[in-house]
Structures are given as structure tokens and as C-alpha cells.
Structure 1
Amino acid sequence: MTDPTAAPLAADAGAGTDAGTARGTAVTAAPAPGTAGSTATARVLAGLSNPFALGFLLTLGGLAAFVLGLAISNLSTVLIYVAFALFAALGLDPVVRWLERHGIPRPGGIAMVFAGFAVAIAGILWLIIPTVAGQVSQFSKDLPSLVSDFQKSDIYSWLETNFSDQVGTLLTDAQNFITNPSNIASIGGGVLQVGAGIATAVSGVVIVLVLTLYFLASLAAMKNAFVRLTPARSRPKVASLTTEITDSIGGYLMGMVVLAFFNSVVALILHLVLGLPFPALLAVIAFCLTLIPLVGTVAYWVLATVIALFSSPVAALVFGIAYLIYMQIEAYILTPRVMNRAISVPGALVVIGALVGGTLLGLLGALIAIPVTASILLIIKQVWIPRQDAKV
């Protein structure tokens, strides 16, 4: 005779055995109390359970982050110089490589590029400085006659008739301001500040030029060093991506220089044909302004048209219409042909990138916004999207 309770008891015993086995496995999987893993875990848990130690670690981390942010803020000028020099080197590299393909060694090509750049800078300064100095000198010479003519004009007579007390008070205040030594000292201090700002700008240009020379000479070594920082299995992909990004940035910057040169040539021709003043100076201004993407060409169009109004309203109207026509030709014909080597960026991202870059870094941000946006898009297309597609 079999006991009817034997089967349930056997089942319970089996279940108990399985549960015990599972618990034994779990206990075995956990680190033993005397092992290094359990000791480190116990120390971490003890540290986290101590409010003083936890608060000290959090405070120390926050202080380190604050010091790092302060250091980056103090080094912002240096970082801007480095960014300018790096992008200038990437922009000049296609020219140097073109000279290399025509049998000129790279050091000789770099020397030729920098010699041409120095000649261009000297020519720009030769155009700007005498013109500005002449205009300031002429204005200082004509100022007494301008004041005398204004006092003889009908507008001055009307002002003196209706606001005689106020006009007299303004003249007295102006005389007192000019004859007050403290005001003269403050004006002199402002002039000194302007001079210091000019000296700082000149030194910054020299630093950028020197860094550009070093970056241009060692660009290949810099790219190789960057690639070697990545894992060996990823180096071919990183090297290809780095080369594509640098080539696209260089092509974009060279394209911007070519388009700016076209703008300056068109501006010079229009000023000479219409007889507008300062054609060479305004051509240089056109070149500098149109280097800024999106807004540079429009800004020069507005500025040059307003300046032309002081010479001749009819000439200003003709200039505005002609330059507007050129802007359409540039947008639909020249830009697609010149920028064929650069990465295409959607129009909305171009606007957003230029706004963000200009807000964060000013002129530098506006200049590098489009190549940086294009580089990010390239990384997303060739790295992020393939990894997402590989996930099932």
C-alpha cells in the first residue's frame, strides 16, 4: 500500500531542494566576504552612507568644475586665436596641395602662400590707412567752415529765433566742455584705450599668422596624431572621416574667399563706372564683409548703397539694383559651382548654425558655423546612422 501523502511530500522535497540549489548558486555567485570585490564595495557603501564624506566629494567636484570653467573663460582669447589659426590653415591647405601637385615642395608652397598673403595684407593697409587719414585730415580742415556755413543757414536762423535760450545754452555747454581739463583728460584716456585696442588687435593678428604657419606645416602630423588616439580597429574609419572633414572645411573656406573676391571685383567695377567715391576702399570692405556667410553680402549692399546716396541718389539707385542682380547670380550660379567640394547643408541648418555661432563667438562663430555644421552632419551620416541601422 502506498501512502497518499508521499507524492506531495516528495514534490515539496524536490521544490525545497531546487530552491536550496538556487540559493546556493546565488550565494556562490556573490563575492565572498573576504574577497577584494566585497571589500571595495563595502568601502564605497560606507563612504556613501557617511553624509560628511558624500558632501565633501560633491563639493570638491563642484569646485573642480568651477575652476575648470573659470580657466576656460580666462583662456577664451587664446582659444579663439587657435580656432582662427586652425581654420585659416585648413583654408590655405588646398592651395599648398595644389602647388605640391605642380612640383613645388610643401615648404616652398607654404612660403609662397604666406608671401602672397603678406602682399595682400600690405595692399589692403596701403588702401585703407591713407584714405582714412586723408578723410580725417580733410574733415578737421573743413570743420570750421562747416560750422560757419551752418550758422549762416536758414535752419540755424530758425533754431535761434524759436529756441534762442536753448541754442545759447548748448553753445555755452560746448565751450565749457572743450575748455575743461578733466574732459580733455577723459578724451585722452579714451584715445589711449583705442590705441591699446588697436595694439591688441595687431598682436592678435601676428599670433594668428604664426599659429597658422605652424598648423599649416604640421597639418598631416596633427591628423595622424589624432587618428592614433583612437582604437586600432577604428583608425581606418577615423582617418577617412578626418580627411573628408578637413577637405570639406578647406574647400568651403576657399570657396568663401573666391566668392568674396568676385564681390569685391563687382563692387570695384560698379563704383568706377558710376563715378562713386573711394572705389578701392569699398572693394576691400566688400571683400571683408562678404566673407561672412548669409548676411555679409546683404550688409555690404545696404552699406554701399547708403554711402552712394551722399554722392548721387541716381547713382545709388543704379548701384543698388545692379548689385542686387549680382546677388541673385551669385546665389543661383556662382555659389553652386564654387561650393561643389563642400558638404551640402540644408538651408534651415545654415541659418540656425550661423545664428548660434554668431551669438556664441561673434565673427568667428559666423565664419565657422557652416563648416562645423557640415562636419556634424557628416559624423551623423557616417557614424551614428550606421550604428543605429546595425541595431536590431
Structure 2
Amino acid sequence: MAEQQVPVSPVEGEPQERVIAPTGEQRASSQPGLVPPEVPTPVTPRLRVDLTRSFTWGFTATAGALVALWLATGVATLASVAVSVALAVFLALALNPVVGWLQRHRLSKAMAITVVFAGFVLVFAGVIWVVVPMVVTQIGAFAAAVPQYLTDMRNRGPLKVWLTSGVYAASVAVGFMMSSNSTGVSFPSLR
């Protein structure tokens, strides 16, 4: 058999006695008349919500919906900020080689950044100057051609029933909106 190790006391060589405390039942049985004390169990406070009551359920659902709405608003706000930050990082990374090239050609870093920024603003303004007049011209041409498009669609077979039934109200509304601005475009009656 394996030898049992006896714990050694603080004084070398003397065996240490093991004292095993009796349980409450052992104490009660060894000494009549003693009842073991009950150990209280720790109580953790709980929030009890009875979901069978309509007021409690309504309040809980409303609070949950408000928290969800608040979180959704926060995510939407962060999304717009994240797009702005991503665009700024993209532009900085894209324009950094130009700044480095200007620095290698004897410009200070501040001057190189200023030159690149001014060039970027000029290119952006040039694109806007070229694109905006074309877009305005195209929108004007489309607005002038809409009455002819409606007439062509009205005179075609299968679309004729659809246009004369439900689109008439929409065309009247569009015609009212178009006649109230300065384009001078008026829509003919579809009936």
C-alpha cells in the first residue's frame, strides 16, 4: 500500500493533528438537545416583471422600442460619420504620393499640401463647371419632351387602358406642379 503522508507541524519532526469540525447533524446527535443552526442563503435581488398585466407589458414594449429607436439613430449617425471619415482617408491616401513627389522636388511639406489641396479644389470646381450645365440642359430637354412621351404611350394599345384609368390623376398632379414653375410646360388632358 501507499504510505500516507502526515502533515508536519511548524516545529520540525512533530506530527500535526488534524481537527475535523463536526457537521451540524453530528453535533446534534452527539449532544442531545442541540439543533444545528440554519445557514441563511444569500438573497439576490431580482426585478420581477409580470408580463400578464397589460400596463407592465405596454411599458416594457414601449421602453424596448424607444431603446431600439435610439440605437438605430445612433447607428445611422455613425454611418454618416464613417462615410465621411472613409472618404477623407481615401483622399489622403490617394493624394499622398503627389505630396511626396513635391517634397522630393524641394517644397516643404506644408507648401506641398497647400499646392495639392488647391489643385484638388480647382479640379473639382472644373468638373462641376462642366457637368452642371449639361445636366441642366438634359433636364430641360426631358421636361419639354414629356408631353410627347405621354401622347405616344397613350396611343399604344395595351397601355391605353392603364393610362386612361389610373395615370390620369398622376398626370394631372404632375401637370399642376410643372405649370406652377417657370418652365412653361403644360400637360395635355389624357381623356
Ranked by relative contact order (alpha carbons within 8 Å, sequence separation 6 or more), the top structure is 1
* Max Rg structure: 2
